[in-house]
Structure 1
């Protein structure tokens, strides 16, 4: 099974707290609740609407919350609303309350709201989408990844089971934060949450293993795809190829590329760019150019990144004349070379004293919206007047550039 291939690579630190919450009773009344804040004077009249004895429909409560000026007043409203006989909170109410706190960066208050929901004797029905948004807030806005993970494993307490989408979001969040020890714990908790592993989940594991340098383990996960009744996709192979190229194992990356094609998976532009970049790092610029042409025959049109990698390869190899011609081809394709490319090209052409080519490069730079810097002009002047610090009119190059 896939667990055996992963467990020996991830750090097996204890994170039992993530799963302990699953064993406690749903909607427990023992949860602590933070007292509500003092009422803001400007919200007093709005909050008084909750004190009326008339029936208060759920939609009216939402309007009252929207009318509140101070986020601190929201908690007071919840306290007053909870004492009414017509108290009937729903997902729309909690979503609005949480969004109010997000706008005010009151993330502790969000935790309080979640505890209030859990403490209710009869929890209102909350959807997976609700928890997905809460987890997303914790992870992407608040930077509280541990809260996001805890919320995932708390979901059964709210009588809601997470979807694969929510599970994979947390898994990817942990990988992006390089919390690889927790990645393993969360993955192993999938059965307890009723999650059936899919290709996206396996891709996230491969990404995590590659990022922590466990490339061989990542390949073991690749071999587990058919056992899990999943099919790898172009992202699966691209992630592995990128890691191979980063490790200087370009030949193995091309072998994986051939395997991908044999399995009927079409490479995309990113796949080709990874291989071209790998060839560039090894100084195999001609092979990079050939691969660029091969892309077109495969029906996968190269982008600016594809051309830029080949151009950098030519510049690294000091093939400046060829790089100048290649730059012209890029421009004809409607692509703009980078400023660094132009800078390196000018420097190389100046060393070869190819001033006519330098003039062409300068004109292209200006047309592309780039402004030649002082250092570039000095280099051009030195190439025009080699061995001299001043031109024929006895003016220094610095003075010419300054003027």
Structure 2
């Protein structure tokens, strides 16, 4: 067992990197010394393992310096035995770094070696020294890398305070390092830390640069904390840190988000005082913010100021104002502004025309929308998909479906791509107006051309089927049902309801029953009450009560679909005809099948009995 010896008092040097030799007093209660430590302490320097390790490391560093490589990724080639490595302390690492500070690449090479071979010996002070050395030598990228590492490895340590503390002594350092900390924190998403460091820098008179202040403001915007950018702006003004164009761009963006016209006016005055004249980009950015918030009066205030300051509005300015007016239901004003713009020889763009057309469509002014569309095409612009959709909606509301189709045909010839939603709306509207053949022709035309990505789906088929069924074109509806199945589109309950209802209404209940078995057996669809009601009423209308009863029995036996209200339809029909005996037999049959009569059943039977007694 290794013998342990305790000394009552021991003096040891604290660090050679400090400006003066400081002695640290350690009491026996806080330091335990092993025999190995005592032995090495009393050995001459040439035999001291700590000194041997230091000499070996420094020798290897010197050899690497002679090779004079400029590669920042080169690792130190050093073979040091394990028993010597154990004697290299944290302070030894600091001493070696300080010796190498005039050769930053050597210091970097040694530090990377230490990260691999002495990871447990590296402390925040070692990181601070290498960061200072690299920053002083303008190796900013490598310094940032170690700041990231230090922040993740020692999250409880204050990076700013650690770096300030390590500036004492013989280490060369530059205030630039504190600005790098700000940028590192912002990039890591630690906005509060970055802001705190910025304020500390000002307090300790390490004035941050404009770029560092801009970096914090950009981080605040990304974190949806735009209002706090004005705090940074105030800090810059108090510290007399000059703004640059990027500063004003950031603050302009902030104003766009808040839409404060008073602040915008004050801000532009500040720009002028500092020698920055707001240009067309500044005004357009601010106008964008106001129009997005619907503050059109504020946007026009800026528009007037532009003229007074000699800044000529461009097409973007007019597009923003015209679009904003149209979105706020002021299309007539937008149109007047459009004509003023033309009078001032500013070329219109497609966005203006689209905005005006949509504005008129929203107000139900189809004729004015048509005229603007014609004017737009004559000017060499084509409507976008949304504008086409709004025009089609206006045509449909006005009941002008055929003129609408003519308009779309004209637009297609001009190369306008018509969206799937527009065609769907047209097909639905034509079907609802009782024009299924026109809808079918439009569908066939689209399938043949196939240039708008138009694929028939369940919604289209159901509307076409319903359109044909509503007008009693049953053969065409059945043909569509077969077509959709062949195309891989499975019908749903609605598809069969339209068909079965139409068949039964036209006294083809047997065909309707066949479709019910098809939907149940082929597609596992459960017929709803409306479908069953249509079929049963169809049989009862033709006095085919036995077929209706047989159908109900099969439905209950094969698919366990049985409801009192289905039997009530048949019982009511029998009672209305005066066939009380058959009605009572059917009620008894319901009881045997476990189907309980309800109040409606009793009402039908009582009414039939009453009529029988009266007669």
> Cα distance 1:49–1:331, how it changes in 2: closer, same or farther (>3 A)?
farther
Selected match of 1:287 from 403, 421, 424? 403
Matched, 1:87 2:207: yes
> Cα distance 1:221–1:84, how it changes in 2: closer, same or farther (>3 A)?
same
Matched, 1:100 2:247: no
Measure, in 2, the Cα distance between the counterparts of 1:373 and 1:114. Answer: 63
Secondary structure at the residue paired with 1:190?
helix
Give every structure 1 segment of 4 or more consecutive aligned residues whose post-TM-superposition deviation is greater than 6 Å.
none
Q: Could you give the per-residue CA deviations for residues 167-216 of structure 1, whole angstroms, max 9, x where no partner exists?
A: 32332332232223323333233346664211221122222333333333
Where do residues 1-400 of structure 1 align in structure 2 (5 Å cutoff)? 42=155, 44-49=157-162, 51=164, 53=167, 54-57=173-176, 60-66=180-186, 70-84=190-204, 86-91=206-211, 93-102=212-221, 104-127=223-246, 130-136=247-253, 139=256, 144-146=258-260, 150-151=263-264, 154-158=267-271, 159=274, 160-191=276-307, 195-262=311-378, 264-270=379-385, 272-332=388-448, 333=450, 334-336=453-455, 340-351=459-470, 352=472, 353=474, 354-360=476-482, 362-363=484-485, 367=489, 374-386=493-505, 387-389=534-536, 393-394=551-552, 395=555, 399=561
- Higher relative contact order by CA 8 Å / sep ≥ 6: 1 or 2? 1
Measure, in 2, the Cα distance between the counterparts of 1:101 and 1:398. Answer: 65
Measure, in 1, the Cα distance between the counterparts of 2:483 and 2:282. Answer: 51
Measure, in 2, the Cα distance between the counterparts of 1:380 and 1:320. Answer: 14
Unaligned runs of 5+ in 2: 1-153, 168-172, 506-533, 538-547, 563-615
Measure, in 2, the Cα distance between the counterparts of 1:137 and 1:372. Answer: 54
Judge conservation of contact 2:350–2:383 (CA < 8 Å) in 1.
yes
Measure, in 2, the Cα distance between the counterparts of 1:179 and 1:364. Answer: 55
The normalised TM-score by structure 1 is 0.71
Measure, in 2, the Cα distance between the counterparts of 1:115 and 1:163. Answer: 23
The normalised TM-score by structure 2 is 0.49
Aligned to 2:543: none
Judge conservation of contact 1:323–1:345 (CA < 8 Å) in 2.
yes
Cα distance, 1:133 vs. partner? 4.5
Secondary structure at the residue paired with 1:225?
helix
Measure, in 1, the Cα distance between the counterparts of 2:318 and 2:418. Answer: 28
Cα distance, 1:281 vs. partner? 2.4
- Give RMSD over aligned pairs: 3.7
Larger Rg over CA atoms:
2
Cα distance, 1:350 vs. partner? 3.2
Measure, in 2, the Cα distance between the counterparts of 1:75 and 1:237. Answer: 46
> Cα distance 1:221–1:103, how it changes in 2: closer, same or farther (>3 A)?
closer
Secondary structure at the residue paired with 1:286?
helix
Query: How many residue pairs get matched?
Result: 349
Cα distance, 1:343 vs. partner? 4.2
